[in-house]
Each structure stands twice: as C-alpha cells, then as structure tokens.
Amino acid sequence: MQKRNMELKASSSLVSLLFAGIPWHIFFPWAISVDTGQQIIKVSKRNWFLIGVDTQIIQFNYIRTITINQHLIGADIIIKVIGGTAEAKYISKGDCRKIKDLLISFNQRKKNKKNIVIN
C-alpha cells in the first residue's frame, strides 16, 4: 500500500557547507520540506540576525521548473514558480534525488496533469 500523504524534509549538510568554503552558513542553514498532503513546498533559512527564520511556502500548482545543481559534495535545488524563485543550497545529493522523485511521482499520479520540468 502506497502512502498518499508524505512529507520529506532535508537541510544543508555541515560537510557541504565547510567544503564549499562558507562555514558561516553553519549558523544559517537552508531547509526544505515537501508535503504531498497539503501540496506545498516550504523553504526556510535562519536570518542573519539569528532572531527569526525566513520562509517561502509554494503550492505545487505554481511550480514551473525544478533545477538541481550538483557539487562535489552536496547539491542545490532551485524551484522556479510564477513570480519568483525558491532555493535550498548545499542539501545532500540523496535528499535532492528523493525530493525530485517524490515530485515526479506525485505529478504523474494527480488527475489534472500539468507537468513539472525537471532539469
């Protein structure tokens, strides 16, 4: 039996941030959450003042393109939507692959098919 409502969470990995030469982002990591039940993607990052979190919430039907840029260690996921872009950087490659597979399988299952372009 397949799960219809699934939530997948990922965040920037410490090794990727150190290897990329931006260790100050250890205190400000990116996080991404994909919830198929509510059909939303949530991208968040702690702000520079360490007193809050900046969050973007995107509905699946506004997604136009998903791009994954792979690095030596880790990957960036860039989600283009109507009117803007959401990015989560230095996520593990395995988590990026899981997010991509989850979005593709969800897109194939839904009734009103608007295909998401995956680069």
Q: What angle do CA 85, 71, 100 make, to 5 degrees?
A: 55
pLDDT tens profile 67-96: 999 988 889 999 898 888 989 998 999 999
52, part of any domain? yes
pLDDT tens profile 1-58: 345 678 889 988 887 777 777 777 777 888 999 998 899 999 999 888 878 899 999 9
80, part of any domain? yes
18, part of any domain? yes
CA distances from 106 to 30, 40, 49, 64, 93 (A): 24, 12, 37, 15, 20
1, part of any domain? no
Domain count of the fold of the chain: 1
Q: What angle do CA 96, 68, 63 make, to 5 degrees?
A: 90
2, part of any domain? no
pLDDT at 118: 65
105, part of any domain? yes
Compute the distance between CA of residue 74 and CA of residue 56 in angstroms, rounded to an integer: 21
Residue 68's domain comprises: 7-118
Q: Strand, coil or helix: what is 100?
A: helix
Compute the distance between CA of residue 110 and CA of residue 119 in angstroms, rounded to an integer: 21
pLDDT at 117: 62
> Can you give the CATH number for the domain in which 44 is found?
2.30.29.30
